[in-house]
Amino acid sequence: MNLWDWQVFCTDTISGEISPRCFGENGSITYLDWMLSAWGWTLSVAACALAVGVIMGTIIGVIRTFDNKLILRASSIWIDLFRNIPLLLQVFLWYHVAPQLIPGLSGTPRFVLVVTALGLFTSARIAEQVRTGIQAIPKGQRAAGQALGLTRWQTYRFILLPVAFRIIAPPLTSEAMTIVKNSSVAFAVSVSELTMFAMQAQEETSRGIEIYLAVTLLYFASTFTVNLTARRIENRFCIPGMLGFKK
């Protein structure tokens, strides 16, 4: 067997022969088609889970800056719960246990359950970042909002959170990159993302070198693009004199 055989991606997933699709003709699905589809599922899981994580993390992070002891206790339990249980176990809990305990979850698509597990896991990390960002803002800005007649929520919305997100842009970038890599846990519940594709395609073709190298490059391209995009956003919106400002 040759060390390199990149024609494996032009191979028909059913017949094992070179597919006419590689020559611009009609044909059945190739391993390249399957890999690109899996890449799409990976990015979809990551993007949806990041949205869940940012929304829930912001809410919990804001609550963590309140003075109410009961609210602080509840938010601390939320963070400790999702941050101290392994992500893979949380995926299994949402897939196998939650539908049995929570009415209405039975029959929920696996994609939704994985996004929920990954999003809530990430929300615990983002919540602490949001809390830290808010607490890094001088207290005078909060007082200025109150002096203008803004409510508490208006002060957070228009004054504190816009500044806090600019301060925590670097760790949020890391979270966005990490969530792309963490999306690989979706293979555990048979969501056809890149890791699951690599495992199945390697078993069918015995071309593990080519398969895993290609999947590695796609993961790298995804996270590297996220990093570059986030850096541009960070440099565009950072505030002079605040943490992370670059001249």
pLDDT digits (tens, 9 = 90+) for 205-219: 888 889 999 999 999
Amino acid in the structure at residue 213: L
| Domain-embedded: residue 191 | yes
Q: Is 161 within the bounds of a domain?
A: yes
- Cβ of 104: how many Cβ atoms within 10 Å? 7
pTM of the complete model beyond 0.85: yes
Q: What is the pLDDT of residue 224?
A: 95
216, 233 Cβ separation under 8 angstroms: no
111 lies in a domain? yes
pLDDT for res 25:
59
State the SS3 of the chain: CCCCCHHHHHEECCCCCECHHHHCCCCCCEHHHHHHHHHHHHHHHHHHHHHHHHHHHHHHHHHCCCCCHHHHHHHHHHHHHHHCCCHHHHHHHHHHHHHHHCCCCCCCCHHHHHHHHHHHHHHHHHHHHHHHHHHCCCHHHHHHHHHCCCCHHHHHHHHHHHHHHHHCHHHHHHHHHHHHHHHHHHHHHCCCCHHHHHHHHHHHHCCHHHHHHHHHHHHHHHHHHHHHHHHHHHHHHCCCCCCCCCC
Instruction: Please give the tally of structural domains in the chain.
Output: 1
- pLDDT recorded at residue 247: 46
92 in a structural domain: yes
Residue 143 forms part of a structural domain: yes
In a domain, 151, yes or no: yes
Centre a 10 Å sphere on the Cβ of residue 42 and count the other Cβ atoms it contains: 27
pLDDT-based confidence at residue 17 (cuts at 50, 70, 90): low
CA angle in degrees (0–180, nearest 5) for 209-214-219: 125
Which domain range does residue 228 map to?
A: 29-237
How many angstroms from the chain centroid is the CA of residue 129? 16
Taking residues 109-115, report their average pLDDT: 92
Mean pLDDT, rounded, for 123-141: 91
In a domain, 14, yes or no: no
Please tell me the predicted confidence (pLDDT) of residue 15.
67
**Which of the residue ranges 12-16, 32-36, 124-128, 148-152 would you say has the lowest mean pLDDT?**
12-16
**3 pLDDT more than 70:** no
Which CATH number covers residue 124? 1.10.3720.10
In a domain, 184, yes or no: yes
pLDDT surpasses 50 at 170: yes
The residue assigned the tokens 């850096």 is 231
Give the pLDDT confidence score for residue 61 in this predicted structure: 94
